[in-house]
Chain A
Amino acid sequence: MGELSLQHFLVLGAVLFCLGVFCVLTRRNAIGILMGIELILNSANLNYVAFARYHGGAYDGQIFAVFVIMLAAAEAAIGLAIVLAIYQGFETIEVDATDRLRG
């Protein structure tokens, strides 16, 4: 097999990204969608760190990864708060049912 190369990480990242997108598209449950988004963000993180590791020794990518983690935390907090608010209004968190703003 040889050593781990950049391609391994990129393939893993792509797989993770596709899983995330699939999860977001197929889930009806709002929390499931949020989890899918987390997957997408983490796949991006993986790419950042990998590029940082294999292209030059700078810390740019890692710093970006830290930013994205922070962003994800904030997004999760706000997202969950929205989900809670939706539950109070609709008594459900099924996204298909929450269509009151439909035109």
Chain B
Amino acid sequence: MTETHASYVALIPLLPLAGATVLGLGGATIQKRFGERAIGAIACATVAASFVLSVVAFAALLGRAPDERLLLAELFTWIDLDPLKVELAFAVDPLSAVMILIVTGIGGLIHLYATGYMHGDQGFWRFFAYLNLFTFAMLTLVLGDSLLLMFVGWEGVGFCSWGLIGFWHKEMANARAGNKAFIVNRVGDFGFLLGMFLLFWALAEVGDGTLTFREIQRQAHLLDGLTFWGWPVATLVTLLLFVGATGKSAQIPLYVWLPDAMAGPTPVSALIHAATMVTAGVYMIGRMNFLFAMAPATLAVVATTGVLTALLAATIATSQTDIKKVLAYSTVSQLGLMFLGMGVGAYAAGIFHLMTHAFFKACLFLGSGSVIHAMGGEQDMRKMGGLRAHLPATSTTFIVSTLAIAGIPPLAGFFSKDEILWQAFSSEHGSPLLYFGGLVVAGFTAFYMFRQVFMVFFGECRADEHTRHHLHESPASMTVPLWILMAGAVVMGFLWIPNVFTPFEHFLEPVLGGHHAAAAAGGHQAHHAVGVELALMAVSVAVAVAGIALAYLMYYRGTIRPEAVSGFAGGWLYRTVLNKYWVDELYELVFVRGLAIGVARMLAWFDAHVIDGIVNAAGAAGRGIGWLIGLFDAGVIDGAVNGVADGAYVAGRSLRRLQSGAITAYLYVIAFGVLGGVFLYWSLAVAS
């Protein structure tokens, strides 16, 4: 791939960083002197400027031939320790172009929304400082030209996520949720790090040690057949990287932090925990797709994990009553679908779903924020209902986005989800079982999302008198982003109409490869499949409609009483789902109580006996040595010092007589001294 140098690319991440610096250092003063508006203006302006630059970069890419679509901004050499050499460089290729458009575009809308949502909050400036810093870190993650720079962004978004989940840190539960997210993420990050180390080591063994993506791709074929402790290196590296992805993108077994992360302000949930950060794992697999393609075992793990996570989270979502928890589990489930797409080698489809999901899920979260705003902070759906009359803009956008996520044509979610399901069925890595899992997830998704819609916007209002009296639509700064995001959720799907119009896939082809290439290799097989594909589409639409119908009967008409369903099989099925399969309790028991506290006890014993013993012994030894040195000091050192002083005193007392103060005497000494010297010299000269 031929690259073009374009230093403005570096400004895309650096502008939000500048905003974060200004707000972080001077935010309190600015807010006091110029008010919230100035804070909001700075935060929104930096992200908007980044968005404009992203559009410029995107247009620049479109203006080039497909194999020349790479803009590079090299700032400086960051690390130069032979053989490790890392440039601090940002690269825009088709994949990262899509990502920066999502991050700055949707991120900018969420910034705008947050100026309305966070109105009147004491930490207004702190919130936007974090939000800008997050944008910077996320842009570094997607633009970074090497695995190491990506890791910097990877850690940066984790840190900002921690700060924003626990934003209202005076509530202990919020602070705990932030810590949980951070600690669970660290487990995944450890895998990411190990994967990076192993990859670097392996490349240094067979070629040039490097962490730059294009260099890794160029040498990837050298890893073929290389093993480490009997494992193929490519499989091991990709598995370790995938561990990192399960942490960041909330997959089994590390998904437990995401539902708790809803403790943060709702714009944060929309931006970080739905649209951008949690998709980092999907993006990373897309970025390293050439390596994953070399490891079919890893791909199978990715696809299986994805579909299991999607199923697990979708079932849990059906029983939740907190409006944001439903969306959180929905996010986990949709991320699982993306990983299913990645795992069957449909990288472009996975990224496509990432993009459409960013639109409708951000819209859903912001809509739920608008509902919570109107309800005066209430999040329990059982106390809502009939809000459609009071919140016209919010309910319209929310319902359209729900249709999109449920997979109703022709909205965006239909195209992206169906592409993944189709590839899960037809790709060489796919299988009917994976397809069936995805289909069940689609049905559940339609069900729980419409359950939410019916509980929140339709039926009787179950709020108390006071809340009902204060119901109001949100200000324009909050509804405008909703409308724009809804528009995205409606039209984005048309970028990939299977077999008809697929510009999105073509655009990503230079980075991700297309299934056109695979289809060409597979001969006419793709051609026959069009009929099957249409049939499967019809099936998934039918499943979605069935899910919606069930939700309608249960939560709108009341024909089927929810209690009747929850009481099924003695109610234990319902209780299992309601309690999220007791995974949190299991982790608490095994890792926190069992492992952590067991290890802590062991370490405490070790500390008390071994470490303290060593320390005390060292202390006693030190005291003994000190006593000896004290003797030496008093006798020898002090003796020497005093001796010198005494000597100087005695010498001075005798020599002082020489200085009589009589100048004449000095002059005599000088004169006769010179004479004596001359005489001596002369006599010596004569003698020789």
Chain A residues within 8 Å of B, Cβ to Cβ: 21, 24-25, 28, 33, 95-96, 98-103
| Chain A residues whose C-beta falls within 8 Å of the C-beta of B663 in the assembled complex | 33, 95-96, 98
A-B contacts, 17 of them at CB < 8 A, read: A24-B667, A25-B664, A25-B668, A95-B663, A96-B662, A96-B663, A98-B663, A99-B662, A100-B661, A101-B659, A102-B659, A102-B661, A103-B655, A103-B656, A103-B659, A103-B660, A103-B661
Interface of B is mostly: helix
Q: Min CB distance, A19 to chain B, in Å?
A: 13
| Closest chain B residue to A99, Cβ basis | B661
Determine if B661 and A98 form an interchain contact, defined as CB atoms under 8 angstroms apart: yes
Determine if A28 and B661 form an interchain contact, defined as CB atoms under 8 angstroms apart: no
| Closest chain B residue to A100, Cβ basis | B661
B671 at the binding interface (Cβ < 8 Å) = yes
Determine if B671 and A28 form an interchain contact, defined as CB atoms under 8 angstroms apart: no
Determine if B660 and A102 form an interchain contact, defined as CB atoms under 8 angstroms apart: yes
| Closest chain A residue to B653, Cβ basis | A103
Total cross-chain contacts (CB, 8 A): 34
Contact A95 to B664, CB < 8 A, known contacts A21-B671, A25-B671: yes
Cα A24 to Cα B665 in complex, Å, equals: 11
Q: Min CB distance, B663 to chain A, in Å?
A: 4
B657 at the binding interface (Cβ < 8 Å) = yes
| Chain A residues whose C-beta falls within 8 Å of the C-beta of B667 in the assembled complex | 24-25, 33
| Chain B residues whose C-beta falls within 8 Å of the C-beta of A95 in the assembled complex | 662-664
B658 at the binding interface (Cβ < 8 Å) = yes
| Chain A residues whose C-beta falls within 8 Å of the C-beta of B660 in the assembled complex | 99, 102-103
Cα A33 to Cα B662 in complex, Å, equals: 13
Q: Min CB distance, B670 to chain A, in Å?
A: 9
Cα A100 to Cα B660 in complex, Å, equals: 9
Determine if B664 and A96 form an interchain contact, defined as CB atoms under 8 angstroms apart: yes
Cα A45 to Cα B657 in complex, Å, equals: 37
Q: Min CB distance, A96 to chain B, in Å?
A: 6
16 further contact pairs, Cβ within 8 A, besides A28-B664, A96-B663, A98-B663: A25-B664, A33-B663, A33-B667, A95-B662, A95-B663, A96-B662, A96-B664, A98-B661, A99-B660, A99-B662, A101-B661, A102-B660, A103-B655, A103-B656, A103-B659, A103-B660
Chain B residues within 8 Å of A, Cβ to Cβ: 655-664, 667-668, 671
| Chain B residues whose C-beta falls within 8 Å of the C-beta of A33 in the assembled complex | 663, 667
Q: Min CB distance, A83 to chain B, in Å?
A: 12
Cα A45 to Cα B663 in complex, Å, equals: 26
Cα A95 to Cα B667 in complex, Å, equals: 11
| Chain A residues whose C-beta falls within 8 Å of the C-beta of B664 in the assembled complex | 25, 28, 95-96
| Chain B residues whose C-beta falls within 8 Å of the C-beta of A24 in the assembled complex | 667, 671
| Chain A residues whose C-beta falls within 8 Å of the C-beta of B671 in the assembled complex | 21, 24-25
Determine if A103 and B662 form an interchain contact, defined as CB atoms under 8 angstroms apart: no
Q: Min CB distance, A25 to chain B, in Å?
A: 5
Q: Min CB distance, A8 to chain B, in Å?
A: 23
| Chain A residues whose C-beta falls within 8 Å of the C-beta of B662 in the assembled complex | 95-96, 99
Cα A26 to Cα B132 in complex, Å, equals: 92
Contact A103 to B658, CB < 8 A, known contacts A95-B663, A98-B663: yes
| Chain B residues whose C-beta falls within 8 Å of the C-beta of A21 in the assembled complex | 671
| Closest chain A residue to B666, Cβ basis | A95
| Chain B residues whose C-beta falls within 8 Å of the C-beta of A100 in the assembled complex | 661
| Chain B residues whose C-beta falls within 8 Å of the C-beta of A99 in the assembled complex | 660-662
| Closest chain B residue to A36, Cβ basis | B667
| Chain A residues whose C-beta falls within 8 Å of the C-beta of B668 in the assembled complex | 25
Cα A89 to Cα B657 in complex, Å, equals: 24
Q: Min CB distance, A21 to chain B, in Å?
A: 6
| Chain B residues whose C-beta falls within 8 Å of the C-beta of A28 in the assembled complex | 664
Q: Min CB distance, B204 to chain A, in Å?
A: 74
Cα A58 to Cα B568 in complex, Å, equals: 128
| Chain A residues whose C-beta falls within 8 Å of the C-beta of B656 in the assembled complex | 103
Cα A96 to Cα B671 in complex, Å, equals: 18
Q: Min CB distance, A9 to chain B, in Å?
A: 21
